[in-house]
Amino acid sequence: MPSSQNWYLTAPRVAEVFDEPMPVPGPGEVRVRIAYTAISPGSNVHLWRVGSYRTSAFEDREDLVYMGSGVVEALGEGVTSVVPGDRVVMSTGHRSHVVVPASGLHRVPDALSLRDAALSYLPSWSVSVLHLGRYQAGETVAVVGLGLVGASAALVAELNGARVLGLDIDARRRSIGAGLGLGAVADPTDAPAVAAFLGAGGASGPDLVIETTGAWGGLRTAIDLARDFTRIAVMGIYRTPPPADLATAMHGQLFGYPAKFNYKRLEIIGCGADPAAVALPAPRTATTGTNWDYVLEQAGRGRLPLGRLVTNVLPPASIGEALEGLAGGDTSMLGVVFDWGRHEEAPAGTPAGAPVGSI
């Protein structure tokens, strides 16, 4: 009987594969044969280190859930929005087959590869960040950190007409960032290079800073860059308290006289995603789903080069090795995707629209 291969975290820094029964979609659900899965450099790596998304590790195992792409293989009762053979993206763990609600699927345009589409969720989050950061066309945006989250945010800001400065202290990340086509890439400690793009003093500086590192030093860099009325949109999650000396320095910057937070009218904005559904009255009608569809559409039209984010294509057996590399600070890896060897082909012998019971 066909089975599904699923990778789980069974202990901190230990990934194991399990053969499980082929999942069967229920009413309103769809089974997808996975083509590619991708690593979240934040959530997946945090889970790899600690063994759980919760405060303590499960005694059994945790699913490494994030994002992936594949081909619709089977339909549950009542599904009419997709047919077998459709190319889609969705939230998924590292597994060969996944069953998800049909409402959680997003179609991949014909011109976009499933490999590149596997990374499309993170850029869709960046669309939410531009909304929450109140970006307006033509503004100057500085992105602190050029890991996968920051590189995605920089590309989306470029797509929307921003003047983008990408900043990273790591030379390898800056080298990758230079290939993204941004306005400029610099080391944040290189004041002349930063000033050459932003201008020096007065009203010069970024309108919006997107802080993506999840490191307190990254937030301090964002504060250093701020001018009057700068907005700092925080994507990174600071999982530990700041070192005492850094906390004291940032407190002095923000609240010592003349307090940058008050006198420069600085805004620090926490940035999760837009809501899953619109509840009126709402400031806008964007949702996580519409943002994801927008990213796929723009990438399919060749306007958003998602392929530039992909640096490593590996077999699923390398999941643990890749997570360990990212956890250990390997900055040569940006977008890591796993090739499950099941690409763009439609499932053989599957009649269009066939319910699961007849396959």
- pLDDT tens digits, 192-203: 999 999 986 545
Q: Is the pLDDT of residue 272 over 50?
A: yes
Domains and CATH numbers, the chain: 3-121+288-358 (3.90.180.10), 134-270 (3.40.50.720)
Instruction: State residue 200's pLDDT score.
Output: 62
The tokens describing 182, both together, are 């941004």
Q: How many residues does the chain have?
A: 359
- Quick check: 10 and 2 in contact, CB under 8 A? no
Q: What is the mean pLDDT of residues 257-266?
A: 81
Say what percent of the chain tops pLDDT 70. Answer: 92
- Quick check: 269 and 133 in contact, CB under 8 A? yes
> Model-level pTM?
0.89
Query: Which one, of 340, 342, 286, lies nearest residue 313 by Cα?
Result: 340
Instruction: State residue 309's pLDDT score.
Output: 96
Kind of pairing between the strands at 310-314 and 335-339:
parallel
On average, the pLDDT of the chain sits at 89
Using CA atoms, how far apart are residues 68 and 82, in angstroms rounded to an integer?
17
Instruction: State residue 97's pLDDT score.
Output: 96
- pLDDT tens digits, 319-356: 999 999 999 999 999 999 999 997 654 433 333 333 33
Instruction: State residue 52's pLDDT score.
Output: 72
- Quick check: 135 and 160 in contact, CB under 8 A? yes
